[in-house]
Amino acid sequence: MSDKTVQPGWRQSMAWAHGWLGLIAGWILFTMFLTGTSAYFRPEITRWMQPEIHAEAASPAQAADSATRYLSRVGPDDLQWYIYLPDARTVATRIFRIPAKPDPRIRGNELDLDPVSGAPLNARDTRGGEHFYRFHFQLQLPHPWGRWLAGLCAMAMLGAIISGVITHKRIFADFFTLRWNKGQRSWLDAHNVSAVLGLPYHAMITYTGLITLVTMYMPWPVLTNYASPAQFMQTAYGTPADVPASGVRRPLVAIAPLVRDAERRLGGPATRVIVQNPGDAAARVTIAQGKRGAINSRTPTATYDGATGRLLSRSGDAAVAIDTAGVMLGLHLAGFAGPALRWAYFVMGLTGAAMVGTGLLLWTAKRRKPGAAPFMDGPPLNRTVVIARQRVV
């Protein structure tokens, strides 16, 4: 009688894929979930970490005007200015300069200004909530390697979600089962409960996270249909087209009237001002309007001649694909969410971290040697070392 090799079934194959995908990318995914969840309260964390900032409230037009007056003094020859105006969650005006001759010794050109006076705000040097936001998809690695690693881990996460649903026949029934102090069983129950509780959120946040950087992971459609990535960004997200400086000096027009005109034309408060070639005859001022409560993150813009104040263009209706990408980005960032929905996002994000963490601990518990000391005995640091050593082995 000849030996017959028993081929693993479809469910067993999915279990194998689920385990390896989670094991390889697990700890990075755990970090991404924690930092991304924290980023839902990015402005609040920054304000908490910079208690020295007590800025007065100002209208978008006033904040933009005071910021441009400051920038005209410190960077009249800059290539570009970015001005992020305060809103209900931020009290300061944030500016970012692109100098004509960058100094490599300077870490960055970001600064917080008082929205009324335009004076720099003296606060402790911290990125606050911005650190969690950037770490979430850059992983403290040089560009673009952090984004590539985050994307690969997100792809593994999406595969682990699909294979996990296929593997667990009783996944929804097990959601109502949580056995405490049962060792490996308890980790399995915790993994199932945290996974099923946030399953729609986990699938949505993983897929939309990939979509936010899809043009980097799959650049061929953009390269085929657009002359350059800059042209695609202009069409898709309303970023201003690059205009070369003329070399002819001209003072920048007053920004406040342009902001008020843009708000009237676009139907909402301004959130961002971009100035190209300030102090040049070819200066351009692009003003973006934030749609409060709208899921679509694509913001309408109006572009003006920076030397004369004449309206040059206004973003029109976007194609369905562009609006779809804007909705997916909006769903991922949750900028439209009010306090209650933002907290719901936060709780669901924690279930994602719990799902990944319990899955990794379950993998370790399964491989504990018979007769060894109980898994949860000993100081927490010792348990961490044991987990790390067993993963390496």
**In terms of Cα–Cα distance, which of 81, 52, 87 is closest to 255?**
81
* Together in a domain, 22 and 144: yes
* Together in a domain, 91 and 200: no
Residue 215, domain member (yes or no): yes
DSSP 227: S
Q: What is the pLDDT of residue 385?
A: 43
Domain encompassing residue 26: 10-50+130-221+336-368
How crowded is residue 142: how many other Cβ atoms within 10 Å of its Cβ?
A: 7
Burial of 60 (0-12, 13-18, 19+ CB in 10 A): buried
Q: What is the pLDDT of residue 370?
A: 65
Q: Which two tokens stand for residue 333?
A: 């960032």
* Together in a domain, 181 and 254: no
* Together in a domain, 150 and 294: no
> Which residues, given as ranges, of the chain have pLDDT below 70?
1-8, 102-108, 171-178, 180-183, 236-240, 291-293, 317, 369-393
* Together in a domain, 118 and 144: no
Q: What is the pLDDT of residue 183?
A: 65
* Together in a domain, 216 and 139: yes
* Together in a domain, 34 and 179: yes
* Together in a domain, 173 and 75: no
Residue 247, domain member (yes or no): yes
**Cα torsion 173, 179, 184, 187: sign:** positive
Residue 176, domain member (yes or no): yes
CA 131 to chain centre: 11
* Together in a domain, 349 and 204: yes
Residue 306, domain member (yes or no): yes
Residue 227, domain member (yes or no): no
* Together in a domain, 45 and 139: yes
Residue 329, domain member (yes or no): no
Burial of 130 (0-12, 13-18, 19+ CB in 10 A): middle
From residue 217, give the alpha-carbon distance in Å to each of 206, 237, 283.
15, 18, 34
DSSP 329: H
Q: How many domains does the chain have?
A: 2
Q: What is the pLDDT of residue 237?
A: 65
Q: What is the pLDDT of residue 24?
A: 93
* Together in a domain, 292 and 340: no
Q: What is the pLDDT of residue 393?
A: 40
Residue 55, domain member (yes or no): no
Q: What is the pLDDT of residue 133?
A: 96
CA 16 to chain centre: 31
Residue 228, domain member (yes or no): no
Q: What is the pLDDT of residue 177?
A: 66
Q: What burial letters (b/e) apply to 168-202, b meaning 16+ CB within 10 Å?
A: beeeeebbeeeeeeeeeebbbbbbbbbbbbbbebb
* Together in a domain, 139 and 36: yes
How crowded is residue 389: how many other Cβ atoms within 10 Å of its Cβ?
A: 10
